[in-house]
């Protein structure tokens, strides 16, 4: 995984850290418009061609962090489930929010239907990628986000999705009921999501007893609905 670490603009040390897991093919630029809370740092992770982290976590100022908030979008929910349980360095006080994603990214009932997932991988081209991005944004925001969504080359995205597929094909066995490796506090779902069907996400999160927030006008890319990170967890307060 690649990363961007953003320190808070305050002179005082940050008291909390937001760890953000990007969606497939994305970069942290997709959330660069969100303002950070006071005394809060941001660690944004992306590129799941490997889940090995390209930063030494011990270099972060953990002594000052009293709490951590984990926000994972889309395929980032799966990535967070793979790596967070192994990060013993994280503070015990934490809050976890899943945005338009599932621990089962390729699943006919709990994620992206398998045929669509495989079809996206096998048919990925520059042209198909643009169609995918339009569906992700609902069309209206696509032009505004075009440069951001085009930052990484298509070949890199194909390698990333192939790596995720290989991991899923190797590790996932058929399950009668879903489970989660993390104690998510909230799952936010866009009712008009054309990537992860809202029905599948609702079924999954209800089954693992995670509260959900359904946004009637929300597509797969939901971050244009917010101006600050703190808006994401207002439903918990």
In a domain, 221, yes or no: yes
Quick one: which H or E segment has residue 2?
Answer: strand 2-6
128-146 pLDDT tens trace: 998 898 889 887 666 778 7
Question: Which of the four pLDDT bands, split at 50, 70 and 90, describes residue 93?
Answer: confident
* CATH number of the domain within which 148 lies: 3.40.50.1820
**Is residue 54 a contact partner of residue 3, using CB atoms and an 8 Å limit?**
yes
User: Residues with Cβ < 8 Å from 208, sequence gap 6 or more?
Assistant: 178, 179, 180, 184
In a domain, 143, yes or no: yes
Q: Which of 193, 170, 21 is nearest to 116 (CA)?
A: 193
| Exposure of 50 in the CB half-sphere (CA atoms within 13 A) | 5
| Exposure of 192 in the CB half-sphere (CA atoms within 13 A) | 14
pLDDT at 91: 86
Q: How many angstroms separate the CA atoms of 96 and 35, rounded? A: 18
pLDDT at 1: 94
In a domain, 175, yes or no: no
The bridge status of strand 40-46 relative to strand 2-6 is antiparallel
pLDDT at 173: 59
pLDDT at 174: 65
Q: How many angstroms separate the CA atoms of 18 and 127, rounded? A: 34
pLDDT at 172: 55
In a domain, 31, yes or no: yes
Domain count, the chain: 1
Domain that holds residue 125: 2-169+181-236
Where is average pLDDT lowest: 6-10, 75-79, 177-181, 195-199? 6-10
Model confidence, pTM: 0.94
Work out the average pLDDT over 214-230. Answer: 95
For residue 165, give both structure tokens: 């597929």
Rg (CA), the chain: 17
In a domain, 151, yes or no: yes
pLDDT at 77: 99
195-208 pLDDT tens trace: 999 999 999 999 99
Q: How many angstroms separate the CA atoms of 13 and 63, rounded? A: 10
Q: Which of 8, 38, 9, 4 is nearest to 20 (CA)?
A: 4
In a domain, 55, yes or no: yes
């Amino acid at each position: 995984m690649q990363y961007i670490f953003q320190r808070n603009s305050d002179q005082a040390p940050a008291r909390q850290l937001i760890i953000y897991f990007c969606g497939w093919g994305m970069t942290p630029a997709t959330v660069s418009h969100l303002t950070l809370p006071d005394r809060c740092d941001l660690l944004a992770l992306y590129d799941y061609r490997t889940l090995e982290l390209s930063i030494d976590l011990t270099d972060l100022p953990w002594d000052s962090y009293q709490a951590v908030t984990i926000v994972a979008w889309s395929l980032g929910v799966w990535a967070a489930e793979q790596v967070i349980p192994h990060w013993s360095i994280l503070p015990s006080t934490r809050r976890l929010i899943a945005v338009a994603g599932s621990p089962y990214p390729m699943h006919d009932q709990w994620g992206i239907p398998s045929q669509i997932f495989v079809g996206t991988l096998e048919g990925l081209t520059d042209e198909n990628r643009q169609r995918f991005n339009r569906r992700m944004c609902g069309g209206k925001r696509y032009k505004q986000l075009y440069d951001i969504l085009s930052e990484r080359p298509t070949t890199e995205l194909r390698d990333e999705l192939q790596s995720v597929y290989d991991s899923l094909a190797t590790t996932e066995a058929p399950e009668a009921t879903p489970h989660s490796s993390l104690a998510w506090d909230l799952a936010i779902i866009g009712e008009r999501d054309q990537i992860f069907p809202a029905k599948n996400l609702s079924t999954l999160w209800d089954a693992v007893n995670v509260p959900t927030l359904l946004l009637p006008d929300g597509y797969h890319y939901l971050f244009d609905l917010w101006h600050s990170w703190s808006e994401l967890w207002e439903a918990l307060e």
